[in-house]
Amino acid sequence: MKVLVTGGAGFIASHIVDALIERGHQVVVVDNLSTGFSHNLNPRAKFYHMSIADEGLSDVFDKEKPDVVNHHAAQMVIARSVADPLFDARENIIGGLNVIVNSVRSGVKKVIYASSGGAVYGEPEYIPADEQHPVNPISQYGVSKHVVEHYLYLYGVLSGLNYVVLRYSNVYGPRQNPGGEAGVVAIFAGQMLRGEQPTIFGQGDKTRDYTCVFDIVEANLLAVERGEKLICNIGNGVETSDKEMFDTLADVLKYKGIPRYDSVRQGEVHHICLECSLAREKLGWESKISLREGLLKSVEYYRRLDASLGD
Ligand SMILES: NC(=O)c1ccc[n+]([C@@H]2O[C@H](COP(=O)([O-])OP(=O)(O)OC[C@H]3O[C@@H](n4cnc5c(N)ncnc54)[C@H](O)[C@@H]3O)[C@@H](O)[C@H]2O)c1
């Protein structure tokens, strides 16, 4: 099968590209390298250095005629969406719509879309939040991620487009950028390795549901074959507080420092954890990697990265 992966030079989708290629699929990547890196690109994937919001995207679809589109390209920093909502909307909404319209026009069989269970529900009324939970995002990012779900539903009705929306919890793992503006595991690990003091926003009691990127890859592989017009949560189902995350990482990295505390950033929810039985039922997916196991895999990567930067 030919799969077009948007954002395939980024943290999550570069792993998906690797796994698709390993399973014998042909892969085409579209990425503008705004937060992704060319060194993440699988050399066996065909690469288009382009924004998904670009009109030229239609030429890529015409030329490549993908069977499946896996859509991961996005601006994914909540704080950036709050500071510059128009930028967030252009990248995520206009870009996402451009991907969908071209998918419909060129007869793509399925679109797999990376949404955010951490952002679309807003401050949850109950935890773990299932897919029936009201959608009330409290950040511009949460809104923009959700709007694309609506377009998928719409084109499903109007044009019979098939799709699987995966609402991820907080994803962590190798290749997450320690110098990025989001991704607490990568940022804390990078800071601890450099002997710097990480900052916890809030009192340390905010909770998140952390899922290792290799579990996320598995969900994407299953979604190629299974799931019809499906929207489902993808998470680990375990609530971990910021302070617990700090302590676990400090333990794994033998970091002796203490965190600095600052005020909670606008747009961030206090608690989130996802209920994922629909993914089990419809995709046959469940999270298999525990937080400690996933952190050990991540830390190995950040140690190597730190050592290579020090060379
Ligand atoms: N990391 C998480 O915890 C998490 C949680 C929920 C959902 N998601 C979603 O997963 C996706 C991937 O996130 P990530 O953590 O790998 O982030 P990332 O920043 O590493 O990856 C995004 C990729 O998209 C590319 N990109 C951004 N804007 C683009 C544009 N206009 N045109 C073409 N390429 C563009 C970037 O260069 C990058 O390679 C995003 O859609 C994000 O919203 C991530």
pLDDT at position 309 is: 67
- CATH class belonging to 173-208+238-275+289-310: alpha beta
List pocket residues of ligand 1, CB cut-off 6 Å: 6-7, 9-13, 30-36, 51-53, 72-76, 91, 95, 114, 116, 118, 145, 168, 170-171, 183
The residues facing 199 across adjacent strands are 260
Q: Which of 42, 76, 170 to mutate to test the pocket of ligand 1 (most atoms within 8 A of CB)?
A: 76
Return the DSSP state at 90: I
Question: Of 176, 128, 144, 178, which Cα lies nearest the Cα of 71?
Answer: 144
- What does the radius of gyration of the chain's CA atoms come to, in whole angstroms? 19
Give the E-state strand segments of the chain in sequence order: 2-6, 26-31, 46-49, 68-71, 110-116, 162-168, 170-172, 199-201, 207-212, 230-234, 239-241, 260-262
Q: Which of 6, 12, 217 to mutate to test the pocket of ligand 1 (most atoms within 8 A of CB)?
A: 12
Token representation of residue 26:
């042909």
Burial of 86: CB neighbours in 10 Å, binned 0-12, 13-18, 19+: exposed
> Within its chain, how far is the Cα of 32 from the centroid?
16
Question: Of 241, 277, 278, 232, which Cα lies nearest the Cα of 261?
Answer: 241
pLDDT at position 148 is: 98
**Catalytic status, residue 141:** yes
Which ligand 1 atom sits closest to the C-alpha of 141?
43
Which ligand 1 atom sits closest to the C-alpha of 168?
6
Q: Tell me whether domains 2-171+210-234 and 173-208+238-275+289-310 share a fold.
A: no
Q: What count of other Cβ atoms lies within 10 Å of the Cβ of residue 17?
A: 30
Place domain 2-171+210-234 in its CATH homologous superfamily. NAD(P)-binding Rossmann-like Domain (3.40.50.720)
pLDDT at position 150 is: 98
- For residue 150, report the phi and psi dihedrals to the nearest 5 degrees: -60, -45
List helix spans (H) across 111-183: 140-159
Taking only the tens of pLDDT, the chain with its 311 residues reads 999 999 999 999 999 999 999 999 999 999 999 999 999 999 999 999 999 999 999 999 999 999 999 999 999 999 999 999 999 999 999 999 999 999 999 999 999 999 999 999 999 999 999 999 999 999 999 999 999 999 999 999 999 999 999 999 999 999 999 887 788 999 999 999 999 999 999 999 999 999 999 999 999 999 999 999 999 999 999 999 999 999 999 999 999 999 999 999 999 999 999 999 999 999 999 999 999 999 999 999 998 887 776 55
d(CA 126, CA 239): 13
- For residue 122, report the phi and psi dihedrals to the nearest 5 degrees: 70, -155
pLDDT at position 25 is: 98
pLDDT at position 2 is: 98
Q: How far is the CA of 290 from the centre of ligand 1 (A)?
A: 23
pLDDT at position 311 is: 53
Q: Residues 48, 113, 121, 141: which is the catalytic one?
A: 141
pLDDT at position 304 is: 87
pLDDT at position 181 is: 75
pLDDT at position 310 is: 58
Question: Of 145, 153, 148, 175, which Cα lies nearest the Cα of 35?
Answer: 175
Token representation of residue 107:
């007869």
Inter-CA distances, 38 with 9, 35, 256, 309, Å: 6, 10, 35, 17
Annotated domain spans of the chain: 2-171+210-234, 173-208+238-275+289-310
Does residue 124 have a cis peptide bond before it, meaning omega lies within 30 degrees of 0? no
pLDDT at position 281 is: 98
Q: What count of other Cβ atoms lies within 10 Å of the Cβ of residue 204?
A: 15
Q: How far is the CA of 154 from the centre of ligand 1 (A)?
A: 23
d(CA 156, CA 160): 4
Which ligand 1 atom sits closest to the C-alpha of 115?
7
Crossing angle (nearest 10°) for helices 57-64 and 95-105: 30
272, 127 Cβ separation under 8 angstroms: yes
Which amino acid is it at 155? Y
Pairing of strands 162-168, 46-49: unpaired
